[in-house]
Amino acid sequence: MGCHCKLLLAVSFGIFAIIHIVKAQPDQQGFISLDCGLPPGESPYTDPVTGLTFSSDADYIQSGKRGEPGDSVTYTYRQYKDLRYFPDGIRNCYNLAVNKGTNYLIRAGFSYGNYDGLNVYPKFDLHVGPNMWIAVDLDNDDDREIIYMSKSNLLQICLVKTGSTIPMISTLELRPVRNDSYMTQLGPLNLIYRRAYTGNSGGFIRYPDDVFDRKWVPYNWFETNVNTTLNVTSSNPFVVPDAVSRSGISPRNVTLPLGFYMFTNDDSDKVNVYFHFAEIQTLNANDTREFDILLDGDIIHKAYSPKVLQSETKYNISPQKCGFGSCDLDLVRTQRSTLPPLINAIETFTVLDFPYAETNPDDGIRCYENIQESYGLNIISWQGDPCVPELLKWEDLKCSYTNKSTPPRVISLDLSSHGLKGVITHAFQNLTELQKLDLSNNSLTGEVPEFIASMKSLSIINLNWNDLTGPLPKTFHDREKSGLKLTVQGNPRICADASCKGNNQKYVLPVVASAASVLIIIAMVILILVFKKKRPTQVDSSSTVQPVLPTSRQSIITQTKRFTYSEVAAFTDNFERVLGEGGFGVVYHGSLNGTQPIAVKLLSQSSVQGYKEFKAEVELLLRVHHVNLVSLVGYCDEEGHLALLYEYAPNGDLKQHLSGERGGSPLKWSSRLKIVVETAQGLEYLHTGCQPPMVHRDVKTTNILLDEHFQAKLADFGLSRSFPIGGETHVSTAVAGTPGYLDPEYYRTNRLNEKSDVYSFGIVLLEIITSRPVIQQTRERTHIAAWVGYMLSKGDIENVVDPRLNKDYEPTSVWKALEIAMSCVNPSSEKRPTMSQVTNELKQCLTLDNSKRGGREDMGSRSSAEMSTSFTTEIIPKAR
């Protein structure tokens, strides 16, 4: 394809507050335009810039508080002057009436403006119904946009709290778009960057120029601008505005392709790209403009020629993954073309996976709105989908789940002790799959309605301790035979049938709890208490009362190997010789009994770690013993002085040797293999030899120490955690670790297991092979895993391996080590090997290298085709 400049879609557009307005305003039918936080008394209003009519969001959401950004914030659009924030509850949802089966452009706008005076940008998630749309990190004010086909006549947009900051929103806008335009049948389309057009007019284009109110942003192009004053028609479903189509660009060097870069948020993302074209130049009789449209090297349209003064859209029919976190978008001139490519506008989307089916409409939110209205309830968690996702399921409900694609059903509703007053509402009968209904401990009055007994799925009804009256309908007696269990204890004015009077009550069903059983239980409890009171209390006179320490300072497992602070100071000659410094504090050289060299880590007052990490590391090292784990000589925990005493590793850490910091000749390949095998053995022991198993959580080259014999010792266990055994597969914990080494799946989900260590170890292995930084901004791919994958896909293995090795290695051994490393850094933890498997494979590498080093084929003899086949299917995680 040749070398050519590419335009970076993520950062190269200019932003100007100039709006194109035309006199003829299109219809706003179907538009929903909410100014979030706008007082109802100021609603509605017409935005003076766009002519759009905005209303208060007060009628669309039951929670949240009104706020206003600071006075210093300026706004192009009136709707960003107000905001709504949500300090209460986890999920807060807007309920919007839409048309089922219609494509909607949904845009959420945010202007934080330091409204709370904290100057901390909020982070939270946006959901469409039960499905995750996007994680919002408002490091700047911006919009988020999705094109989505509604699954019902009710659309819910939810803000979900995920951390300590409070979700907020400024504006919420829905615009119906044509169903025959964007490919939502592939899945919802999340706009990656701003929608870009290639003009040089320097202004936004949106409604009313765009009948769908899409926002088009101009780019700062470094190519040749092409413009026309003639009208450009758009007869296709996309209805690209004339103001967008009247300008375009061609490559400055007419012999080269026109190319763009597009970065995805995740390497597993599938993209759907829409290219908008119109021929806006006057062509001579012998002129031809023809080019191929390529998406990441694949031709999605061959030999395309734009139509004269008529807008046309081309896109990839099937969603496509891009290699190594970025996509190449190229327009390549064909051989018969006399003119270079030309483009007017571009839209880039990722295709989202919305796995959860909404709760069955029969159990939908309208039922619960009626129930809450009947009793004046306001249950904060009753927002969004009742059953999914399961972690956000409503309080007081239980649901049945078949699979993600099958709508769940509500099977249990517990409104016990909710202060319900009045009669039992007919709204309950809409819950047709309900198996258990608990309305006990309320103030319900009136008769027990017959419709409850007619609910065929109901098997348990608890009406205890209300003020219900009258005889029970005969239907309840009939249902008793099929297993219905009704309890009405504590309702003295209920009787079995119409003939019963006053308090001469017969409880209706044998399943009603009898008073006798209650009295028996009470009597047994009294007997137990009397018996315990009469037993003499025996006190050991030799025992002493031990003080109870605060939870954070409870004693460590054992008191062995504990030193005083004065002893630690003596061991280190008053902390004279500094070996290094880390997150825990300063590391000093010391000597135990004048003979055994030790390293002493002293917790500093400004340490980012604390007693919790100190305690975790001591407790772990006191119970683990392995030749490839650093040994704990002792510790100090005395009046705020915290120190860890380790065996001394005179050859420093692995990072120093790979970077050349310690000088001397580079480590040989055989030495590197030996070190990495020993490190793998230490990790394998943590994962399989400890009870309970441990996850290190901070595997990196600076935590691999080398003793006098260059034997590897894995160190720094302050972040280590036990992980579950048995049926559970992970533990949920706050993300901790080192950028670059951090498992992207763990970072994304907070779900920690041993495979997180496997990922970090894979990065260490890549460092050992390449001697290159984990993060390097100047190379083709920033993160080492993405860069290695990129180089291997080109068949360029020689430039991957550390050149300082001077090819003094067994090629098959290096290749196998690369394959092991790439399998360890797979984005999916399920596809990574275990540390036991890694250890066995690396031992084979060591065996290969120690065998016939000169009898193998040269590294360069492995064909590019073989290498490409091996690695192009791997998805390499980008730096996070």
Q: Tell me: the pLDDT tens digits for 252-299?
A: 888 888 877 676 777 788 999 999 999 999 999 999 999 999 988 889
Tell me, yes or no, whether 211 and 302 share the same domain. Answer: yes
Tell me, yes or no, whether 208 and 337 share the same domain. Answer: yes
| 492 falls within a domain | yes
Model pLDDT, residue 799: 86
| 237 falls within a domain | yes
User: What SS3 state is found at 343?
Assistant: strand
Q: What is the pTM of this model?
A: 0.57
| 521 falls within a domain | no
| 783 falls within a domain | yes
Query: Among 325, 351, 377, where does a domain finish?
Result: 351
Tell me, yes or no, whether 374 and 499 share the same domain. Answer: yes
For 164, phi then psi, to 5°, come to -90, -15
Tell me, yes or no, whether 659 and 634 share the same domain. Answer: no
| 97 falls within a domain | yes
Cβ contacts of 75 within 8 Å, gap of 6 or more = 81, 111
Amino acid sitting at position 841: E
Tell me, yes or no, whether 841 and 763 share the same domain. Answer: yes
Tell me, yes or no, whether 481 and 575 share the same domain. Answer: no
Residue pair 568/643 in contact by the 8 Å Cβ criterion: yes
pLDDT in tens, 797-817: 788 999 999 888 888 899 899
Query: Among 482, 500, 516, where does a domain finish?
Result: 516
Cis peptide before 208 (omega within 30 of 0): yes
Query: Among 647, 669, 693, where does a domain finish?
Result: 647
Tell me, yes or no, whether 170 and 108 share the same domain. Answer: yes
CB crowding 721-738: b at 16 or more within 10 Å, else e: bebeeeeeebeeeeebbb
Domain assignment of residue 271, given as a range:
195-351
Tell me, yes or no, whether 159 and 281 share the same domain. Answer: no
CATH number, domain containing residue 799: 1.10.510.10
CATH number, domain containing residue 383: 3.80.10.10
Residues annotated in a binding site for ATP: 601
Model pLDDT, residue 306: 95
In angstroms, rounded to a whole number, what is the distance separating the alpha carbons of residues 217 and 198?
9
* pLDDT per 10-residue tile (average), the chain, 880 residues: 43 35 60 95 91 95 89 77 93 95 95 88 94 84 89 94 93 95 92 79 82 86 83 91 91 83 76 94 92 90 95 92 76 93 93 91 80 88 90 90 88 92 91 92 91 88 91 83 85 72 42 45 56 43 32 40 88 88 79 85 63 71 81 82 87 90 86 95 89 84 91 78 47 62 77 88 96 83 85 80 89 90 89 93 88 45 29 27
Tell me, yes or no, whether 212 and 314 share the same domain. Answer: yes
Range 491-498 contact pairs with CB under 8 angstroms and sequence separation of 24 or more: 491/463, 491/464, 491/465, 491/466, 491/467, 493/467, 493/468, 493/469, 494/448, 494/468, 494/469, 494/470, 495/470, 495/471, 496/471, 496/472, 497/471, 497/472, 498/471
| 818 falls within a domain | yes
Residues annotated in a binding site: 601
Tell me, yes or no, whether 492 and 607 share the same domain. Answer: no
CATH number, domain containing residue 629: 3.30.200.20
For residue 838 the two structure tokens come to 């890694």
Tell me, yes or no, whether 220 and 313 share the same domain. Answer: yes
CB crowding 863-878: b at 16 or more within 10 Å, else e: eeeebeebbeebbbbb
| 879 falls within a domain | no
Q: Structurally, how many domains does the chain consist of?
A: 5
CATH number, domain containing residue 327: 2.60.120
The CA R_g of the chain, rounded to the nearest whole Å, is: 34
Q: What are the catalytic residues? A: 698
Tell me, yes or no, whether 608 and 674 share the same domain. Answer: no
Model pLDDT, residue 316: 92
| 19 falls within a domain | no
